[in-house]
Amino acid sequence: MSKHTELHNLIHESCKELGFSGVVLVKQGTEVVSESAHDYANRSDRLPNTTGTRFGIASGSKLFTSIGIGQMVEKGVLSFDTRLKDRLDIDFPHFDEGVTIHHLLTHTSGIPDYFDEEVMSDFEELWKERPVYHMRSLKDFLPFFQSNQMKFTPGDRFHYNNAGFILLGLIIEQQTRQAFTDYIESEIFQKAGMGNSGYFSLDCLPSNTAVGYIEKENSWRTNLYSIPVKGGADGGAFITASDMMNLWEALYSYKLVNEETTRKLLTPHVHVNGEVHYGYGIWMNQRNEEIYKYHVMGYDPGVSFRSSYYPQLDLKLSIPSNRESGPFEVTKSIESYFEI
């Protein structure tokens, strides 16, 4: 049995055991080592997922926002140390004036979040007052946090924050005079060769796009009424597994931002816990002073996603799913196979 067959069988067994729904793509160097699709993109019509199916990736999209900010830095319109108040013409009455782009990118700003996991456990609770079908632009999120108090002094600690990335997206919109999603699609997706990816409205999904499923007590429903109708700077893009591979390759070949800016994105700016650090829109694991894994992830009702790059092995994984779990466990089984 070849090594590729052995890995493919391992993935198949792992996916079967988990009831995984989605795509698993493994690439080493320029070679696709394993690629497989599992379960249904549309359960009602029994349409299977394919290796070319598009999936929502929730917060996995934050890396795109960070790259967009990196492009703004290269244009000279801001720096990573620029203060929020100096680049966004929106009033935040209780925000610390010392909040910078760096703080927002690293989740160390201390600003209030629109979905604070320390206060709220169910993402769907957000939409009781403001229906998801109204959430079509970045400014639609401002009423959730704009007038709230700071949580802590900027730079004090890491606290995962979606609102910070909403503000980064608004900065991109103000600087480019374009809708955030239009800018990312033209300046990142097109340049990276991500021809099948985009920010699609849940009520108007293109063909070959997986529907997200929420499962409870042996029943399921779609996530149509559970997440914002259209994604933005903090999450919600749709990608194919192979398009995500193209993103990694474009990033590491400096097609999106130059080498200096790329290194800035991939620097471990803040320690999260254990081996885990955070750069600009990207997680990284460090062992013996060496980063052995860069990764992005996303979780929403009906969505889960993991994509990783292991520089020592030149190994990349892309695992999107239209269920709420699976990619983490599949990633772990692949890492075990490669003895990572």
pLDDT, one tens digit per residue, over 98-155 is 999 999 999 999 999 986 666 656 666 666 667 777 778 999 999 989 999 999 999 9
What is the fold of 3-337?
A: Beta-lactamase (3.40.710)
Residue 60, pLDDT score: 98
Residue 119, pLDDT score: 61
Residue 292, pLDDT score: 98
Selection from 131, 324, 117 nearest residue 226 by Cα:
131
Residue 89, pLDDT score: 94
Residue 226, pLDDT score: 86
Q: Is the dihedral of CA 25, 59, 74, 158 positive or negative?
A: negative
Residue 152, pLDDT score: 96
* Residue range 42-65: mean pLDDT, rounded: 97
User: What does the pLDDT look like over 249-283, one tens digit per residue?
Assistant: 999 999 999 999 999 999 999 999 999 999 999 99
The DSSP call for residue 209 is: B
Domain boundaries, the chain: 3-337
How far, in Å, CA of 50 to CA of 35, rounded?
10
User: What does the pLDDT look like over 28-47, one tens digit per residue?
Assistant: 999 999 999 999 999 999 99
* Residue range 290-313: mean pLDDT, rounded: 97
Helix, strand and coil in the chain, % to nearest 5 = 35, 25, 40
Residue 124, pLDDT score: 64
Which band of pLDDT confidence, cut at 50, 70 and 90, is reported for residue 2?
Answer: low
Q: What percent of the chain has pLDDT over 70?
A: 95
Residue 128, pLDDT score: 67
Residue 75, pLDDT score: 96
Residue 104, pLDDT score: 98
Residue 85, pLDDT score: 96
Please name the residues in contact with 222: beta carbons below 8 A apart, sequence gap of 6 or more.
211, 212, 213, 214, 302
Is the confidence at residue 15, as pLDDT, over 60? Answer: yes
Is the confidence at residue 56, as pLDDT, over 80? Answer: yes
User: What does the pLDDT look like over 210-247, one tens digit per residue?
Assistant: 999 999 888 999 998 888 999 999 999 999 999 999 99
How many C-beta atoms surround the C-beta of residue 22 within 10 A? 27
- pTM metric for this prediction: 0.95
Please name the residues in contact with 283: beta carbons below 8 A apart, sequence gap of 6 or more.
272, 276, 277, 294, 295, 296, 297
Residue 136, pLDDT score: 81
Q: What percent of the chain has pLDDT over 90?
A: 87
Residue 121, pLDDT score: 60
